[in-house]
Amino acid sequence: MDALPALSFTPAVGDLPFTPKQRSLLSLAHELGRTKFAPRAAQWDESASFPFANYDDLREAGLLRLCVPESHGGLGADFATYMMVAAEIGRFCGATALTWNMHICSTMWTGVLADGIAMTDAQRAEHAKRRELHFARIVNDGAIYAQPFSEGSAAAAGRAPFGTTAKKVDGGWLINGRKIFASLSGAADYYGVLCTEDRGDEHPDARDTLYIAVPATSPGFAISGDWNPLGMRGTVSRNLAFKDVFVSDDEQLMPRGIYFRGAQTWPAMFFTLAPTYLGLANAAYDFTVQYLRGEVPGEPPVKRRQYPTKQIAVAQMRIQLEAMKSLFGRAIAEARPNPSKDEKLRLYAAHYSVMEGANDIARLAIRTCGGQSMMKHLPLERLYRDSRCGSLMLPWTAELILDRMGRETLYEAGERDA
């Protein structure tokens, strides 16, 4: 029998059979979000500036080390726990949740996910030694990691090697190239760059992808470009340039060849972008209910709930939200290395449903609440803009999910038409 006290709120992921640790982390995230992140969200959006104050709070609450193993001083959260907590943060500030995802992935991919990737004993030993350094930076110094992989080419879509290269030199690597859309630009202490090993021949190969941390203070590293987007404005996702940037061997976040294997072994690693948007969908739905009941603080107590058309729209929103949560809950419960074909297709379906569904719900929310609800002093128009961004995020854009799902449904691995 469950003797734990019930949560005082319904988490963004729904009412799942949470462990005590998950309950306590969800309560922490909910409280931080409600009292700190929600009141500040408009400010980052308006000025397209990074939510530094939220990061101070995340650091103080221990949430920057959420996925660092307990043996290394972290909170030791597993994949599913991270996904639940991220959705909770997303309902209060999308930009904070999305950037926090980039940081967390640098610890989750090198931590619990890497533990599920096949490595030789030598690779495992190398990885164990190197990740200690990265974990210690986060645990002891509160360091922030970014995760730039996009380059504006087919590489981030997983269809070509990265154009950014790393050439082996004595004691480390020389990095050259550029990245676009690097969230946390100027805020991160380290940039976990995906690049292709330059072996000196003409045939770059995606199997030679390297995952390397570049310290923000490295000579030859520069941030450029404006950041004035439609939504997720607080992510500050600018361009990065690397000109003969030297990093030591210790900066490798994974041994040679392991990132490529990891991406194939653990497809759910890319699903980590979704919880932010599940959080946004919850926020749009919650706002709509509050607004139609005339209960939004600071607004005139005008009720609009009596109109059948609005009741129907709320029902539609709830149905879509429940479907998203169910798929999401199932996908995080069964996320594992080497999922079955059905599990993988369900994962794609969950990702697509959340990324497209979040914006559907925000769109319905504005239509249903009406003109006065889209004013800038209310959160709905920001939720609408932020929620549009999920489907654009590589490698699993909404289009690429459809593409993968269709192909992988109709073709078994290695099958070709004559």
Residue ranges in contact with ligand FAD by CB under 6 A: 102, 147-150, 152-154, 156-157, 181-183, 232, 235, 237, 389, 392-394, 397, 399-400, 403
Instruction: Taking the CA atoms of 85, 86, 87 and 90 in sequence, report the sign of the dihedral they define.
Output: positive
Compute the distance between CA of residue 52 and CA of residue 36 in angstroms, rounded to an integer. Answer: 12
Q: Between vectors from CA 330 to CA 327 and to CA 335, what angle results, nearest 5°?
A: 120
Q: Which is nearer to ligand FAD, 266 or 277 (CB)?
A: 277
Cβ 362 vs Cβ 263: under 8 Å: no
- Distance linking the first and last C-alpha atoms of the chain: 58
CB of 270 to ligand FAD, least distance (A): 10
- Lookup: tokens for 142: 């509160």
Q: Which is nearer to ligand FAD, 173 or 396 (CB)?
A: 396
SS3 assignment, position 206: helix
Compute the distance between CA of residue 317 and CA of residue 276 in angstroms, rounded to an integer. Answer: 18
Q: Which is nearer to ligand FAD, 50 or 181 (CB)?
A: 181
Q: Which is nearer to ligand FAD, 232 or 274 (CB)?
A: 232
Place of tokens 């640790």: 21
Q: Which is nearer to ligand FAD, 102 or 369 (CB)?
A: 102
CB of 122 to ligand FAD, least distance (A): 30
State the virtual CA torsion across 296, 297, 300, 304 in degrees, nearest 10.
10
Can you give the three-state secondary structure of 93-132, one letter per residue? CHHHHHHHHHHHHHHHHHHHHHHCCCCCHHHHHHHHHHHH
CB of 246 to ligand FAD, least distance (A): 22
CB of 181 to ligand FAD, least distance (A): 3
Phi first, then psi: give them for residue 202, nearest 5 degrees.
-90, 5
Q: Which is nearer to ligand FAD, 276 or 288 (CB)?
A: 276
CB of 397 to ligand FAD, least distance (A): 6
CB of 185 to ligand FAD, least distance (A): 9
Q: Which is nearer to ligand FAD, 97 or 292 (CB)?
A: 97
CB of 286 to ligand FAD, least distance (A): 22
